[in-house]
Chains A and B, each alone.
Chain A
Amino acid sequence: MTEFGFRQQIITSLALIPVTFALWYAAGAPLAAPASWLAGQLMSSALDGIIVGSQQQETIWLIISAFGEDNGKIIYPSQTGENLAIEIDTRLVSYSVAFYAALLWGSRVSEPLFKFTVGLAILWLVMALSLIGVAAKDLMLLAGSQFLERPGVPSADVIALWYQFSVLLAPTLAPVMLWLWQLRGTPLWQLLSRQLEAASRSST
């Protein structure tokens, strides 16, 4: 059998996971940097006046808000010149890169480097949206109604849903969807396609 079957794919990916996770751990900061930069730009544009600045320190994304504190009370904007900031560990979402690499590198795809580059760019976008979801949740917990009442801020329910999706599903679901999309044309995809066709026939 010359086909690279699904079982081999899963076994190869499992074997690659320690390698890709080690690489991801070693390169955690540069791997997350484009996503945190993009998230900072998007947040600054969408929430004008709420976000003063953002920067990445190692794997931690630091967001400086316009909120301040006065005797335990959150005030907007800060009157003291000291702004409240939140810290988010980018690893919370960036491990999707390690998972994606294990899936893609375990597959026999053509132009693997090109596909990985495209996939990484898409994952950075997903990671940026996920980081925004986490940041919005943290700002909501930090400033409560002071944050929620600002223009452009979604409702608490939307933020909660966005955050949960960003942390619980996106980091593992996005790599799988991306990998399946990039499998097109491979022997494994042809095998899966035949199974899909046969499965469709069985349902009719």
Chain B
Amino acid sequence: MARFLGIFAVTLLVLFTLELLGPVQHGVIQPFTSGLASVSSALILPFDDGVVSSGRILRDAASGFAVSIESGCNGVEAAIVLIAGILAFPARWQYKASAIFLGFLAIQVMNIARIISLFYLGQWNNTIFEWTHLYFWPVLIMLDVLVVFAIYLRWLAARGEAASD
């Protein structure tokens, strides 16, 4: 357990620091965040043709309401926690790689749901927007990380039991 916690903490700190470096922000994080805005817009457009995406901004053409997807709203920090947990736990590297890929997808699916919900909540009620943005969604995203990690452990355990039979 101590080994797991040690590797987890160090990996978390290293990845979190890397994420904040200027070149990583400009070369990876910001383009990725813009991509999230585009994906969100593409998912909304079939149901609401009044939404426009420009860079990291999602805007409602009729009301002028816009949300800007900033660092911290792109699910990367949650993904870093998951990656640190997966890397810290002993398993084959191909299992770890698959878990990171699928876990990242699971977090981003949840995060796109967050972005879309906040886009509409903001047009409806600013207080509720603030609440869900600052408090409710971060908790749900962390629970998502917890669930994904638990599923990964369960999957690993099932393979272990099958192997020992």
Contacts and interface: CB of A to CB of B under 8 A. Distances in A.
If over half of B's interface residues share one DSSP class (helix, strand or loop), that class is named, otherwise mixed; here it is helix
Chain B interface size band reads 20 to 34
B16 A165 contact: yes
B2 interface: no
Contacts of B135: 21, 91, 95, 98
A198 B160 contact: yes
Interface in A161-204: 161, 164-165, 167-169, 171-173, 176, 192, 194-204
Given A161-B17, A167-B72, A172 B142 contact: yes
If over half of A's interface residues share one DSSP class (helix, strand or loop), that class is named, otherwise mixed; here it is helix
Contacts of A109: none
Nearest to A18: B136
Contacts, number: 90
Interface in A66-107: 91-92, 95, 98-99, 102
Interface string B129-146: 000001110110111001
Given A13-B143, A199-B91, A202-B159, A164 B72 contact: yes
Interface of B: 12, 16-17, 20, 72, 77, 81, 89-92, 95, 134-136, 138-139, 141-143, 146-147, 150, 153-154, 156-161, 163-164
15 contacts: A17-B139, A91-B135, A92-B134, A161-B16, A161-B17, A161-B20, A176-B142, A176-B146, A198-B160, A199-B157, A199-B160, A201-B164, A202-B156, A202-B163, A203-B91
Interface of A: 6, 10, 13-14, 17, 21, 91-92, 95, 98-99, 102, 160-161, 164-165, 167-169, 171-173, 176, 192, 194-204
